[in-house]
Amino acid sequence: MGLIYHLSMTLCVVILLHFLVSCSAACTTDEDCSYMGKCSEGVCKCDPGFRGPTCAHIDNHTIPIKSGFKSDKFWIWGSQVVFVDGEYHMFAAIFPRNLSFGNHWLTNGQIARATSKTPIGPYQFVEIVLPYHMSTTNQQYWDRSCMNPKIIQAKDGTFLLYYTGDTYNGSTPTQLQPSHSENAQETQRVGLAYAPKITGPWSRLPDPIISPRPGKWDDRMTTNVAVTVLKNGTILAVYKASTPPGSERQSTVCIGVASAQHWKGPYIRLQDDPILPCPKNSFNFEDPSIWYDQKSDTVHMFVKNFRGTVTHAGYSGAHAYSKDNGHTWQFTSPPLAYSTVNTWSDGKIRKQSRMERPEVLLDSNGHVSHVFFATDMGLEGPEWWNMVIPVQSTSTKTFS
């Protein structure tokens, strides 16, 4: 009896320990690791660039003081970087520094290219690739001002520069000429320029590729596009939109999705409704950034959670993913991808007022190596520029 009792108690202990380990395990599948890591013996082994029990948060490292893209001639707001021919090419929205950014971001935007030998920078201005598109008596352009660039390379090798364009009445504002931005925001549309080389020459498609749909949730404007190339070469595009002034949902801002079999279009909505929670009269999300992760066949998204309704931290970023090529999306658990607090190489911890327009850079293994943001806080005070956060301890050659 003693032996039987001992064996029975031992078996009970083994079963109990197994139960406790199972209950305390952080994961059972790779989905529990946000598809940014592997589930191994109940623990998430995160890919380079991510950390946390579910691999949902970027593994942000110390930011060098001399990094990112600043200019004494332009305000800078939003960018994307690609590695081509031994250099990192940043495409960024620029605005005249002698004009107030807050009053002129809708009317005075252009898109520039800057370069650096390292992903961190500092980036040096090279050229304006999409200048003001001036209207004339015979030609009225829909994209007089442009911003929010996204640069990718199509399967056929063509470089694709997606952007937001808008138009307005009157001449382009200067220090002596007042702004005409009162009707500019509602004219925002998603456009596309293309080039055979990263250095151009750039040609614009004559019409927007994603426009508002009358009577739908996105019938006011379409803007802030994010793009990636899927395994089969399809272009996936996620965008921000809203309803027109005067409607009962005039303050509702939502995120939608479209795709195109060829980069010239047509861009067809994959869902008729928004893809992220979008209650009436809400402003939950904007500034999406997406990338395709080949190893898990998953599309990932960073998106600014404007009021922290999901991340529970205002002006922070949420992390979502899609396993069906962008049709449906799910937030990671927890959904917080990044906050606005970072450590810098001078030893100081700084809280940025805003970190917007997130955009990732992938290394040669397809892992996230750096994340770029538009921010309105410099090292010593207000400054509109593009910052970059390294999320790996070592960085190798990278590409988009």
The CATH number assigned to the domain holding 65 equals 2.115.10.20
Residue 113 falls inside a structural domain:
yes
- At 300 the pLDDT is 98
- For the record, the structure tokens of 153 come out as 């390379």
Query: Is 5 a member of any domain?
Result: no
Question: What pLDDT, on the 0 to 100 scale, is given for residue 172?
Answer: 87
Helix (H, G, I), strand (E, B) or coil at 6: helix
Q: pLDDT tens, 169-182?
A: 888 888 887 776 66
Q: Is the pLDDT reported for residue 12 higher than 80?
A: no
Q: How many whole angstroms separate alpha carbon 49 and alpha carbon 217?
A: 35
Specify the pLDDT at position 248: 55
- The candidate with the shortest Cα–Cα distance to 202, out of 120, 128, 135, 118, is 128
- Residue 42 forms part of a structural domain: no
CA pair distance 258, 255, nearest whole angstrom: 11
**Does residue 152 have a pLDDT over 70?**
yes
Gap between the Cα atoms of 183 and 110, Å rounded: 18
3-state secondary structure of 4: helix
- pLDDT above 90: residue 22: no
pLDDT in tens, 95-129: 999 999 988 999 999 999 999 999 999 999 999 99
pLDDT of residue 400: 40
The mean-pLDDT minimum among 85-94, 180-189, 233-242 falls in 180-189
Long-range contacts for 260-266 (Cβ within 8 Å, ≥24 apart)?
Answer: 260/209, 260/234, 260/235, 261/233, 261/234, 262/235, 263/154, 263/156, 263/158, 263/160, 263/192, 263/194, 263/235, 264/205, 265/205, 265/209
Which of 297, 281, 220 lies closest to 256, judged by CA?
220
Q: What is the pLDDT of residues 361-393, one digit of tens each?
A: 999 999 999 999 999 988 887 789 999 999 986
pTM of the model: 0.90
Segment 152-170 shows an average pLDDT of 95
Whether 6 maps to a domain, the answer reads no
324 is a domain residue = yes
Across the chain, mean pLDDT equals 89
| Among 242, 233, 234, CA closest to 285 | 242
Mean pLDDT along residues 345-368: 94
Q: Give the model's confidence band at 394: pLDDT under 50 very low, under 70 low, under 90 confident, else very high.
A: low
What does the pLDDT average to over 295-316?
93
Q: pLDDT-based confidence at 23, cuts 50/70/90?
A: very low
pLDDT of residue 251: 67
Tokens of 104: 């002129």
In sequence order, the β-bridge partners of residue 90 are 81, 114
Q: 286-298, pLDDT tens digit by residue?
A: 999 999 999 999 9
The answer, yes or no, to whether residue 135 has pLDDT greater than 90, is no
Number of structural domains found in the chain: 1
Q: Name residue 167's amino acid.
A: T
The answer as to whether 4 is a domain residue is: no
Tens digits of residue pLDDT in 244-283 = 665 555 568 999 999 999 999 999 999 999 999 988 878 8
CA 302 to chain centre: 6
Q: Residue 317 — very low, low, confident or very high, per pLDDT cuts 50/70/90?
A: very high
Query: What is the residue range of 58's domain?
Result: 48-399
Q: Is 14 a residue whose pLDDT tops 70?
A: no
In a domain, 1, yes or no: no
Q: What are phi and psi of 257, to 5 degrees?
A: -140, 145
Rounded to an integer, what distance in angstroms lies between the CA atom of residue 34 and that of residue 331?
Answer: 9
Print burial letters for 286-324: b (CB count within 10 Å at least 16), e (below 16): bbbbbbbbeebebbbbbbbbbeeebbebebbbbbbbbee
In-domain check, residue 152: yes
